[in-house]
């Protein structure tokens, strides 16, 4: 089946909008008549295979229990070229008390990734939200001691995984979850306004070859938060801080938006600063009982993936999970459940969102013309029930 025919098949399956403009040949060398994949061949046309032809990574997350032999691990290895430990590399997991190192969970996830040729996103060296910082760290008020503790943590973690983890979320969520100001966290309180630069400098010293990323929530929909993050990153770049990428989480709490062109411009705002950009935590919550839920969801995934593929600096798209059977959104406590936010259903069968994701990759490979029709209105606020309890 030629690629164009594959696109027509996918279009008929509702996996594609009318095409838009992208210079695929410049990144793939594929021309019309090439067969990027044959949809009739089982396990061909995987997301990781198609994305790699576009010089991009497609990722997902895993917990240690999920990389044990079974359908989760099988789907992970088949479809994804990047892996983010969902919780195993967080400070509260790795060093819950000073010197009490707990590397077992992260070892399991990182070893799985390496065994299956997957890149690892080291999430995250420092989560600058006090809620997720161990109490013993939050209790430090002396700047010198906090600097010592930061150096110990970063040097130990990066030192252990540096040969296998090539990009780190050095800092996660330096801004307020639902706001535009710097978050109130122990590192800012004790070390002052330059704390981000200090943390990035420690990470760079620990592994000068590593890509160092800043990761943020909600910039796609919290009013003003995108602009606040752009200014923050602009200042870091101006100050010579070794920052190489910006992660845009893209937790979508409804199937509304984002507007494709508006989101593409947001990604380009970071590219214009000379850093890479990535979608790092994509999931799209649906409303139980909505008969159109999965087609709406597919549209959201297609717009997000297409926006990334239109921006050369957009290196990766990671979904925050694999299967609807295991999503943090069902435990948020403020969304109607099941939220069913991911590409695969409870039985690991691909959903329309998966076809839309793959369709966007196939369209890019075919040098398709991208949709220009207006998108649904953007999501500007959490569903009312979700707003008060969300903690980032
Ligand atoms: O493993 C323990 C279990 O032993 C215990 O019985 C249970 C009782 O509370 O807790 C379990 O740990 C939970 C852990 O997820 C693993 O399931 C923690 O309580 C819970 O707080 C933790 O939530 C994670 C959350 O970050 C906080 O770390 C979510 O799984 C994870 O999806 C979420 O991911 C974050 C990103 O790191 C940053 N961006 C936002 C995103 C969503 O909040």
What tens digit of pLDDT does each residue of 196-237 get?
999 999 999 999 999 999 999 999 999 999 999 999 999 999
3-state SS, residue 213:
strand
For the whole model, what pTM was predicted? 0.88
Q: What is the pLDDT of residue 45?
A: 85
Helices (H), 89-243: 91-94, 104-115, 135-138, 143-161, 186-191, 195-206, 225-238
Please indicate whether residue 173 is annotated as part of the active site.
Answer: yes
Radius of gyration (C-alpha) of the chain in whole angstroms: 20
pLDDT of residue 387: 39
Q: How much is the pLDDT for 38?
A: 75
Atom of ligand 1 nearest to the CA of 217: 39
Ligand 1 centre from 87 Cα, in Å?
Answer: 6
Catalytic residue of the set 79, 86, 119, 173? 173
| Residues in Cβ contact with 15 at an 8 Å cutoff, skipping those fewer than 6 apart | 298, 302, 352, 355, 356, 358, 359
pLDDT in the model for residue 22: 43
Specify whether the CB–CB gap between 372 and 366 falls below 8 A: no
Active-site annotation holder among 79, 86, 119, 281:
281
Please report the pLDDT score of residue 13 as a whole number: 38
Residue 35 is predicted with a pLDDT of: 52
Residue with CA closest to ligand 1 atom 18: 87
Distance 114 CA to ligand 1 centre (A): 24
User: In DSSP terms, which residues pair with 82 in a beta bridge?
Assistant: 59, 119
3-state secondary structure of 160: helix
| 45, 128, 203, 385 from 158: Cα distances, Å | 34, 18, 8, 39
Residues lining ligand 1, Cβ inside 6 A = 86-87, 90, 132, 172, 217, 249, 281, 328, 392
Q: Angle CA(155)–CA(174)–CA(102) in degrees, nearest 5?
A: 35
Q: Whose CA is nearest to atom 42 of ligand 1?
A: 392
- Among residues 146, 278, 149, which one has the least CA distance to residue 215? 278
3-state secondary structure of 332: coil
Ligand 1: residue whose CA is nearest its atom 21: 132
Give the per-residue pLDDT at 366: 86
**Residue 270 structure tokens:** 């970071």
Name the nearest CA neighbour of 63 among 108, 127, 118, 32.
108
For helices 3-12 and 352-365, the axis angle rounded to 10 degrees is 150
Residues of the chain with pLDDT under 70: 1-36, 39, 42-43, 368-392
- For ligand 1, pick from 86, 249, 278, 325 the residue to mutate: most ligand atoms within 8 Å of CB: 86
Rounded-to-integer distance, Cα 330 and Cα 332, Å: 6
Q: What is the DSSP letter of 344?
A: B
DSSP letter at 203 equals H
Site to probe by mutation for ligand 1, drawn from 64, 87, 278 as the one with most ligand atoms within 8 Å of Cβ, is: 87
């Amino acid at each position: 089946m030629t690629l164009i025919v594959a696109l027509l098949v996918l279009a008929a399956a509702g996996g594609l909008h009318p095409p838009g403009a992208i210079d695929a040949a410049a990144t793939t060398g594929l021309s019309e008549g090439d067969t990027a994949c044959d949809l009739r061949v089982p396990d061909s046309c995987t997301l990781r295979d198609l994305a790699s032809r576009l010089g991009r990574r497609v990722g997902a997350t895993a917990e240690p229990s999920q990389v044990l032999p079974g359908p989760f691990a099988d789907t992970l290895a088949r479809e994804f070229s990047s892996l983010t430990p969902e919780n195993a590399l967080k400070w509260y997991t790795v060093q819950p008390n000073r010197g009490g190192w707990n590397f077992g969970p992260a070892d399991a996830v990182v070893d799985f990734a390496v065994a299956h040729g997957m890149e690892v996103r080291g999430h995250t060296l420092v989560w600058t939200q006090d809620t997720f910082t161990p109490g013993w760290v939050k209790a430090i008020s002396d700047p010198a001691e906090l600097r010592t503790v930061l150096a110990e943590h970063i040097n130990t973690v990066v030192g252990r995984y540096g040969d296998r983890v090539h990009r780190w979320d050095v800092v996660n969520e330096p801004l307020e979850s639902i706001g535009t100001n710097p978050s109130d966290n122990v590192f800012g309180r004790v070390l002052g306004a330059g704390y981000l630069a200090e943390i990035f400098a420690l990470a760079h010293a620990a592994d000068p070859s590593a890509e160092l990323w800043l990761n943020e929530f909600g910039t796609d929909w919290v009013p003003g938060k995108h602009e606040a993050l752009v200014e923050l990153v602009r200042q870091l770049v101006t100050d010579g801080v070794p920052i190489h990428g910006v992660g845009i989480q893209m937790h979508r709490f409804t199937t509304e938006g984002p507007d494709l062109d508006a989101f593409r411009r947001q990604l380009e705002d970071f590219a214009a600063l000379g850093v890479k950009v990535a979608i790092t935590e994509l999931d799209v919550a649906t409303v139980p009982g909505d008969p159109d839920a999965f087609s709406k969801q597919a549209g959201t995934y297609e717009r997000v993936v297409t926006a990334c593929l239109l921006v050369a600096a957009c290196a990766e798209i990671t979904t925050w999970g694999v299967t609807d059977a295991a999503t943090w959104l069902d435990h948020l406590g403020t969304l109607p459940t099941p939220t069913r936010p991911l590409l695969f259903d409870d039985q690991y069968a691909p959903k329309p969102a998966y076809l839309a994701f793959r369709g966007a990759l196939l369209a890019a490979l075919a040098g398709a013309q991208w949709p220009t029709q207006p998108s649904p209105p953007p999501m500007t606020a959490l569903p009312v029930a979700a707003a008060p309890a969300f903690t980032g």
